[in-house]
Amino acid sequence: MTNSFELEKKIKDSGLRRSWILNQLGIKSYATLRAKIRNDSEFTASEIDKLCDILNISKSQRGAIFFANVAE
């Protein structure tokens, strides 16, 4: 389960435009990205790898963000 709060914070702190991130991930719409962040849909392994590169997410942060066991 994705820790939505932490991922949103990473995106905001990066200063990158969501449209640019979408393009880099090959995601077609904001709605799709939003669904993945909100756990309505899952990120693929390649999307997680790319997001980690784009957002400078370390290996330890990767587990805490993308494989979290959090209640929201």
Query: In CATH, what number is assigned to the domain containing residue 36?
Result: 1.10.260
Beta carbons of 47 and 36 less than 8 angstroms apart: yes
The alpha carbon of 43 is separated from its chain's Cα centroid by a whole number of angstroms, namely: 8
Instruction: Identify the domain containing residue 41 by its residue range.
Output: 4-66
10-55: per-residue pLDDT in tens?
Answer: 999 999 999 999 999 999 999 999 999 999 999 999 999 999 999 9
For residue 49, tell me if it sits in a domain.
yes
Query: The pTM is what?
Result: 0.87
Helix 30-37 with 18-25: angle, nearest 10 deg: 90
Residue 36 belongs to some domain of the structure: yes
Is residue 39 assigned to a domain?
A: yes
